[in-house]
Amino acid sequence: MITTGIIGGSGYTAGELIRILMFHPHATIDFVYSTTNAGKPLSVAHHDLLGDIEMNFTDTVNPNVNVVFLCLGHGKSKSFLEQNQFASHTKIIDLGNDFRLTKDKEFDSKSFVYGLPELNKAAIKNAQFIANPGCFATAIQLALLPLAKAGILTTDVHINATTGSTGAGVTPSETTHFSWRSNNMSHYKAFEHQHLGEINQTIHQLQAEYTNELIFVPNRGDFARGIFATLYTTIEENLEDVVAKYETYYQDQPFVTVTTAGINMKQVVQTNKCIISLMKKGNRLLITSVIDNLTKGASGQAIQNMNLMFGLDETTGLHLKPSGF
């Protein structure tokens, strides 16, 4: 069995990791680290676990576990790793943004691989340290990878994406408070969201000569979980050829489905799936990409990476069905 440890155990991504790992046939949870809840049952922070798991939070780590998931706030993973040492065999999967960019991937003799399986699967299989992608970044990159791989991105890409309130983390704030969020919508960090760095990095990995702009407007939605992203750009090829490129790119990627039908977010919520819909009007290609921000956009993808790192089928423990009603 793969022994796992979770750091930053009180947040949404940690809760999602626990829920999936509880039923993973080849993994077991060794500890869940939280300084604020040490000694208390996991169900104190994750109420849906009441009656399902008898384990308490701890403020100590087992340095010999097989894999550690870092679910800390952005910018805090480096300081944690500076203060806590793990065994030479321990694999580390960081769900924060500390190591996602090429300029940040080397840290304290560790070299982090960007953990988007549909892009870097071979490297992930041989990696010891993984930088898990951001949630918006996952949805947007999966929408664009086949175009970049084919070298047919030639104009700006306009992106509008809406995320649920869990994307803002578990700590309450003005824009996650129910009375503000309910029946409301707003944008934030327009044209400068932090995930643009990793998205641009990926596009240039596949299409180095791309010099146009990704114009991204992120929105806060009146729902808890999920991302609904629409992108449009100019593509001269007909729709049938574009669809063929997407289907070829994703033919060996079990969590991505390509369609020309209309799609909705409920088709993926609480799963590790991404569904991509393609339509064309004139020379404009519209791409719709939907994921669950906590699963494929965070914890599910982290477990997908763990599976690859340990030589398991990448779908192990991730056969999750959405609820359409």
- Judged against a pLDDT cut of 80, whether residue 168 lies above it is answered with no
What pLDDT is stored for residue 178 in this prediction?
76
Q: In whole angstroms, what is the distance from residue 52 CA to residue 21 CA? A: 12
Which residue segments constitute the domains of the chain, with CATH numbers given?
2-133+296-309 (3.40.50.720), 135-293 (3.30.360.10)
- The type of residue at 205 is Q
Task: State pLDDT tens for residues 258-280.
Answer: 999 999 999 999 999 999 999 99
Task: State pLDDT tens for residues 128-167.
Answer: 999 999 999 999 999 999 999 999 999 999 999 999 888 7
Beta partners for 139? none
Closest CA to 249 of 116, 117, 118, 114: 118
- Judged against a pLDDT cut of 90, whether residue 188 lies above it is answered with no
The catalytic residues are: 135
Q: In whole angstroms, what is the distance from residue 121 CA to residue 247 CA? A: 17
- Judged against a pLDDT cut of 90, whether residue 170 lies above it is answered with no
- Judged against a pLDDT cut of 80, whether residue 176 lies above it is answered with no
Residue 83: how many other CB atoms lie within 10 Å: 7
